[in-house]
Amino acid sequence: MVLLRQFTLAISAAVAVLGSLLFIGWNYFYRRRLLVCEPGPRRPAVRQVCRERQVLVLGLDGAGKSSVLRCLSGAGVSRGCGPTWGFNTVCVNILGCQLHFLEIGGSVNLRTYWTQYLQSAHVLVYVVDSADRERLPLAKAELHRLMAADSQLPLVVLGNKQDRRAALRAPELQEALSLDAVGDERKCFLLAVQLDWDGVELPRSLRELQELLLQLLSPR
């Protein structure tokens, strides 16, 4: 059993690392087809384009990372979406800013390798299942491990699944995740997210996420 667990862990790590290398190489040598999100009517103007930026998307398995990325890409919500067993990539063009979202799976085997992707990211988006109260302490522990590994990377925490009855609201999540302990040297934001996709307009909470990312990534 020990040998089998070690073999499984090695295979999962190899898939994640190989996928990340393929993602970087593909973006370097080829011009990718961009998934475009049209700006909303109330979106503030950005003075300069931020060109290409990488957004690292992490969170426990089942937090809803893939669903968030599907909505941002314009593909909508996929009910019964399975967990990500390696990595997932989405490239979105917003007002001339190419955002390359890289999602790493949240299974226990892959969390060990999360910190290896922090260095190449410009922003960390950490997705939390607001209704999964039982695993909130684990989500908090993993989040603070990431923050300890990089003390300056801008952080956006998404309190997902706000439509669930058991969901913690933003003030409760802030306390449960101990976000007040974040140092002044880091830009840290908490957004409550509800993926109420109507098939036409991007959910308001994700429009707010887009605007926040543009503010964080656009040159001053």
Specify binding-site residues for Mg(2+): 66, 84
- Write out the binding residues: 59-66, 84, 106, 160-163
Q: Which long-range contacts (CB under 8 A, 24 or more apart) does 28-33 make?
A: 32/91
Strands 97-104 and 52-58: parallel
Distance separating alpha carbons of residues 52 and 121, to the nearest angstrom:
11
Strands 97-104 and 87-94: antiparallel
Encoded tokens for 89: 């990539």
CB count within 10 Å of CB 208 equals: 14
Residue 158 makes CB contacts below 8 A (sequence gap 6+) with 59, 68, 125, 126, 127, 128, 191, 193, 209
CA distances from 180 to 151, 173, 188, 194 (A): 14, 11, 10, 23
| Residue type (1 letter), 15 | V
- Write out the binding residues for GTP: 59-66, 106, 160-163
| Residue type (1 letter), 181 | A
What percentage of the chain's residues is helix, strand, coil (to nearest 5)? Answer: 40, 20, 40
